[in-house]
Structure 1
């Protein structure tokens, strides 16, 4: 039977970390699931944008992103033959679970296997372009690919597009960016090879520089040889012997929902890479002979829409470490909001919110179930970066580990509701929480 003639319990739109978490959780809990993805692979920003490393999975003391997200991380590490030479227990925990380099090709295979093994159906090279809805209930989703347009029927939708595309198509309310209508800068990540690892590691040990290459940038600026308008410089991650990935270079005042803006960002980013590599060769020992291997298929996007949900998380919730009774995930990443335009760029970050908002080891905040539910819509739930929050709070949970967690919660909730024949708002929260714990999720 054709995919288009089936009726699914749930359709997941978007195959990034939130979509993977949602699809796998729903399928493992007995739902009939279809996952739609516009590329020919899963992973979202980790693969489509070649982001070089996962943000932290721990709160500085213990792993707090568990369940499907942790399963993916461990499988990728095994596939990549990842190992850590650090022996100290506390440091080892961080080293094994925080800022882990992403092996893009290994991750693609791992995600294929985990999703397909769960029983989820995947439809690549397909975009969800519209919905068929009635009184806040979505009856079908409209998809488009080389075969043309088709409607696929479903009971529930999980919007994991990263941009709340399905919520908008269904008439849901949302916010976008800051008060000027601007969002965080975008970045084209890339990989370099031909690195002298001994010289590079010795430089890191003796210079006091970090993976952000802060001191190298400062020296280049003093010599008027660093002309990029950067907030804090490079995210530098050693991915393999002689190979590193860089999250390095911002393009400002880009609306990622506009093809014209994204085109400008892609072209400008690629144009800047040779000069960045010249800087690396001159100012970072061990990179004298570095060469470009590849850049991401697309620029990395940090921010677009945020839904208006049943509850709106705020920076006050972050700083108060609020414990919600309907918590479905925990996280502890700082508030990380990159500038939207060049006039906001600062070179010293001692007073930057990313630094001042850091939690003490062992602290974390909760993400309530209500933030996943768009106001006015009945059978759609959202996971990933567009969940309901203010812009500062979004700066913390927008990253991939948290997206895995909210995705798993959304998929589990939908599967329970499908079995019981109830609406998403009628779910018994304790039942959802208990099921998440059984799956390995950490709720504190």
Structure 2
């Protein structure tokens, strides 16, 4: 078995949180390796959906630092839009997934990040409460990678689980998790014709059932860069009655970019999937791809502007919204999220809405009876602070966690799973890991003043900043 040389910081998972964590660790001076199972970094951020939660409802920016820099670079090359306030969704920022992939790779290379792609962590080596190394599997077989500090950005707390750490899965009642979906992209779409249809049929714009925000107007959809179109309930009802729609959703979402004929589509859903079970994942992949084909046929037949639409790309993996939640020294709650709470040890801010897709039919979500086809969605008037205690798992000395598996309740995880928040926690985790390594101490021992000052120096938004505000599109 091959033994690689030791790294200061090993980031497991190069997705939305992990890519940012690796850049942060390298920029903070650590010799950093990111281990990623696919052939590029960025994860679900590269699938083509718009970014939600870069700012709160009042327009105060929550995403700064490395994540904010990424979107500034994209806007400069016509690969993304500036953030806009959205009456239904909170805030929205458009991005070109291919431009994003390349820009993120450039940023990582510039920072000096080392990559190990097409590799999957299968085990850990421990000495007491410390992780000494991870074992990865790839085309060469099994390899051992020693490290001083590790960052779990697997999305599923895989490193925590393999190291014997404590976690929960899904909601406490029955361990049920949010359903999974597959994003896909279509080309040759006449978005203007679709908007013309909605102007003539405003009842087919999402009526905001389950949303805390207000229904989109056609004026908003026409004037907002990267407008996110949610609706088509009436057309879906027609297709369902005709036996041409059996997907368990009552509306779909279209992601747009200004002047483009390519769009992203979010319209698939499978319940009862454990994202840590390979058999469940296999079933989900097959079912969501079947649904992709059905939704594409529906769009071509029923929705004006999609008559000539063609499939450009489907997701490299089904999108998992929820699996494990680590046990940290603090567990973020829905009350924290909705109240815009602040904490003395916060390392960034979250503004992605509290977004819970119906866990299953006939159950309660946030005290609402749900049927399995909808969503419970609270956009946030004020962003909330994220304590560093949520990023440090109990009982493992040299490990930090970022992304959707940080310490949070099932309900609060509906917000922290958002891509903007994953970039915030990724930036903080990478910086914390580098500081811990430099000081030869555990992440929990790094002074919060030192961590916060370093993050601020790196452009991160630790506290709500009244000088950084996005104004609504007029």
**1:324 is matched with which residue?**
343
1:368 matches 2:361: no
**2:108 is matched with which residue?**
115
Deviations 1:234-277 (A, max 9, x none): 22112462111101110111111111111111111112223212
**2:19 is matched with which residue?**
20
**1:384 is matched with which residue?**
403
Q: Give, in whole Å, the separation in 2 of the partners of 1:279 and 1:5.
A: 51
Contact 1:236 1:245 in 2 (8 A): yes
Contact 2:358 2:376 in 1 (8 A): no
Give 1:283-294 correspondences, 5 Å limit: 283-294=302-313
Alpha-carbon offset, residue 204 of structure 1:
3.8
**1:99 is matched with which residue?**
92
1:353 matches 2:376: yes
Q: Give, in whole Å, the separation in 2 of the partners of 1:373 and 1:309.
A: 6
Q: Secondary structure at the match of 1:99?
A: strand
**1:184 is matched with which residue?**
178
Alpha-carbon offset, residue 161 of structure 1:
0.3
Alpha-carbon offset, residue 215 of structure 1:
4.1
**2:197 is matched with which residue?**
203
Alpha-carbon offset, residue 346 of structure 1:
3.5
Counterpart pick for 1:234 among 239, 246, 252: 252
**1:161 is matched with which residue?**
154
Give 1:17-416 correspondences, 5 Å limit: 17-47=16-46, 50-60=47-57, 61-82=59-80, 92=84, 98-178=91-171, 179-208=173-202, 209=205, 211-217=229-235, 220=238, 223-224=241-242, 227-231=245-249, 233-239=251-257, 241-344=260-363, 346=371, 353-354=376-377, 357-360=378-381, 363-416=382-435
Q: Give, in whole Å, the separation in 1 of the partners of 2:118 and 2:268.
A: 29
Alpha-carbon offset, residue 321 of structure 1:
2.6
Greater shift, 139-148 or 338-347, is seen at 338-347
Contact 1:52 1:245 in 2 (8 A): yes
Greater shift, 176-185 or 119-128, is seen at 176-185
What's the C-alpha RMSD, in Å, of the aligned pairs?
A: 2.3
Contact 2:236 2:245 in 1 (8 A): no
Contact 1:256 1:301 in 2 (8 A): yes
Greater shift, 191-200 or 301-310, is seen at 191-200
Q: Relative to 1, partners in 2 of residues 1:324 and 1:5: Cα closer, same or farther, differing over 3 Å?
A: same
Alpha-carbon offset, residue 333 of structure 1:
2.4
Q: Secondary structure at the match of 1:337?
A: strand
Contact 2:325 2:405 in 1 (8 A): yes
Alpha-carbon offset, residue 11 of structure 1:
0.2
1:435 matches 2:429: no
Instruction: Give the alignment's TM-score, normalised by structure 2.
Output: 0.84
Extract unaligned runs of 5+ from structure 1: 85-90
Q: Relative to 1, partners in 2 of residues 1:132 and 1:81: Cα closer, same or farther, differing over 3 Å?
A: closer
Q: Secondary structure at the match of 1:353?
A: strand
Q: Secondary structure at the match of 1:212?
A: strand
Deviations 1:361-417 (A, max 9, x none): xx1111100000111110001000000011000001101110111011111111112
Contact 1:62 1:93 in 2 (8 A): no
Deviations 1:135-174 (A, max 9, x none): 1101111111111111111110000000000011111000
Instruction: Give the alignment's TM-score, normalised by structure 1.
Output: 0.90
Q: Secondary structure at the match of 2:328?
A: coil
Q: More strand per residue: 1 or 2?
A: 2
**1:87 is matched with which residue?**
none
Q: Give, in whole Å, the separation in 2 of the partners of 1:100 and 1:232.
A: 25
Contact 1:200 1:284 in 2 (8 A): yes
Q: Secondary structure at the match of 2:285?
A: helix
Q: Give, in whole Å, the separation in 2 of the partners of 1:408 and 1:262.
A: 29
**1:88 is matched with which residue?**
none
Q: Give, in whole Å, the separation in 1 of the partners of 2:22 and 2:389.
A: 20
